[in-house]
Structure 1
Amino acid sequence: MQENTVIFGIRAIIEAIESGSAISKVYLQKGLRGELFFQLEKLLKKHKISVSMVPTEKLDRLSKHNNHQGAVAKISPVAFHELDSLLETTLEKTDTPIFLLLDQVSDVRNFGAIIRTAECTGVSGIVIQKSGSAPVNAETIKTSAGAAFRVPICKVDHIKDAMFQFQAAGIQLVAATEKTEASVYDVDFTKGSAIIMGSEHKGVSNSVLKMVDHKAKLPLQGDISSLNVSVACGAFLYEAVRQRL
């Protein structure tokens, strides 16, 4: 499997962003200045592209010691989908789709495992936020066993943007959270549903929880108070599958 394409040079990265390339991450040299750099910085903020400030040695390794001019970018090997068109084509096929919304899941292995389970359970699409989410890189694809090429993935400016669209389309929002007494087994997943999984450290954010139709948790029998997010996601998805069989 091919690694992410790496491009380097400030002007090359600016052109890649403006042409609509799926940039997964940009690495910039600490202390970099100049008119072209500020132009790039403005574009990165506008498109909410993940950025890391790193020493020049890191950039040398990433660019294999080519003339990187203090900037290296990784282009995602997976093409992202527009949520509007994915929602429209999905609803033409079924009134009861299942979508996944990931509220800043940041670990690539968790992300890959979630994509793999999503493919196995017939999920129509996965929505992630442009900032704060795990990148779709070679490791993500490897962990997903190639499912990242099969499940449509959409990027939105904020997870709430997608939530409004799902609600407008009559799709219920179900948040996986410990901040409830309701069980996942009490939710009717035979309806069109968008399941929201939270970040590894904070879970589903409070502002997102205020918008959902249902909050649900998994029963935990041991002393550890939470499950790994990819495992919890699998349990939620297979409860939906069980109800639909």
Structure 2
Amino acid sequence: MVVGRNPLVEALTTGANIDKILVARKASGEAIDQVRTLAREKNIPIQYVPNEKLNGLTNINHQGIIAFKSAVIYQDLQQVIDWVLSKGETPLFLMLDGVTDVRNIGAMSRSALCCGAQAIIIPDKGVGALNEDAVKSSAGALEQIQVCRVDSLLKALDTLHLNGIKVYTSEMNAKSKVYELPLSEPSCIIMGNEEKGVQSYLTKAADDKFTIPMKGDFDSFNVSVAAGIILYEAMKQRLLTYE
């Protein structure tokens, strides 16, 4: 953590990787205003909380503000797309919508890297922190794959579509099976919250919905296992196409 006003202003000014900032609801002053400005410029989410929450996080005089450092460096989505295309590769991205368990995030990041995905797209709010536990769960994959943090997943979908990247999401009653998708083409897969799945507005904006066939009547695969199955299918199709 970065605790206190001046330490945080210095951290933001010198380019430290900050995941999110907690500000006491009644905090005010020049340094607080400066933090807000710098956070907005760097697309770092700010959460306003009771002072008691900050007191519970540290014994140090926090001056109404605490920040959590990120274990990864966030990249711009369009720049990552341009970088992938400049290498002559076909984009394969993974978008996380409300995935909160850092172990699932780590496992999906590991599968993504192993299956040739170049980037993971996350929202600036409502997703598990990419901290040391997430990096550990990913076996270091989060430090190698590109991570794009965006302020709107819907806007990110627009960016993907403008660059010719199709977006797919799973749905229990979908007609298409995962192995019927053209995943050798530029693709992005949306993986949803562990309990609620993908939000409806993202499902509507996706190019196609698919299901993963299962044997038996059980509810569904764990989200990280499902991601591994989908990513492996994408890799298999690409290996067959490019050989």
- TM-score calculated relative to the size of structure 1: 0.85
Q: 1:234 to 1:132 in 2, by over 3 A?
A: same
- Separation in 2, partners of 1:86, 1:38: 32
Report the 3-state secondary structure (helix = DSSP H, G, I; strand = E; otherwise coil) of the residue aligned with 2:63. Answer: coil
Residues 118-151 of structure 1: CA deviation (Å, up to 9, x unaligned): 1111111111111111111000000000111110
- Separation in 2, partners of 1:18, 1:104: 29
Of residues 1, 9, 19, the one that matches 2:4 is: 9
Report the 3-state secondary structure (helix = DSSP H, G, I; strand = E; otherwise coil) of the residue aligned with 2:105. Answer: helix
Alignment-derived partner of residue 136 in structure 1: 130
- Separation in 1, partners of 2:29, 2:186: 49
Provide the alpha-carbon RMSD of the alignment.
2.5
Q: What is the CA distance between 1:17 and its match in structure 2?
A: 4.1
Alignment-derived partner of residue 107 in structure 2: 113
Q: What is the CA distance between 1:13 and its match in structure 2?
A: 2.6
Asked if 1:162 is matched to 2:160, the reply is no
Asked if 1:206 is matched to 2:200, the reply is yes
Asked if 1:223 is matched to 2:217, the reply is yes
- Separation in 2, partners of 1:208, 1:198: 10
Residues 75-123 of structure 1: CA deviation (Å, up to 9, x unaligned): 1121111111111010122352211111121111111111111111111
Q: Kindly tell me the number of residue pairs found equivalent between the two proteins.
A: 237
Which segment is superposed worse, 13-22 or 210-219?
Answer: 13-22
Of residues 187, 191, 195, the one that matches 1:193 is: 187
Between the two proteins, what is the percent identity of the paired residues? 35
Alignment-derived partner of residue 3 in structure 1: none
Alignment-derived partner of residue 47 in structure 2: 51
Q: What amino acid sits opposite 2:138 in the alignment?
A: S
Alignment-derived partner of residue 229 in structure 2: 235
Q: What amino acid sits opposite 2:21 in the alignment?
A: V
* C-alpha contact (below 8 Å) 2:106/2:137 kept by paired residues: yes
Alignment-derived partner of residue 23 in structure 1: 18
- TM-score calculated relative to the size of structure 2: 0.86
Gap runs ≥5 in structure 1: 1-5
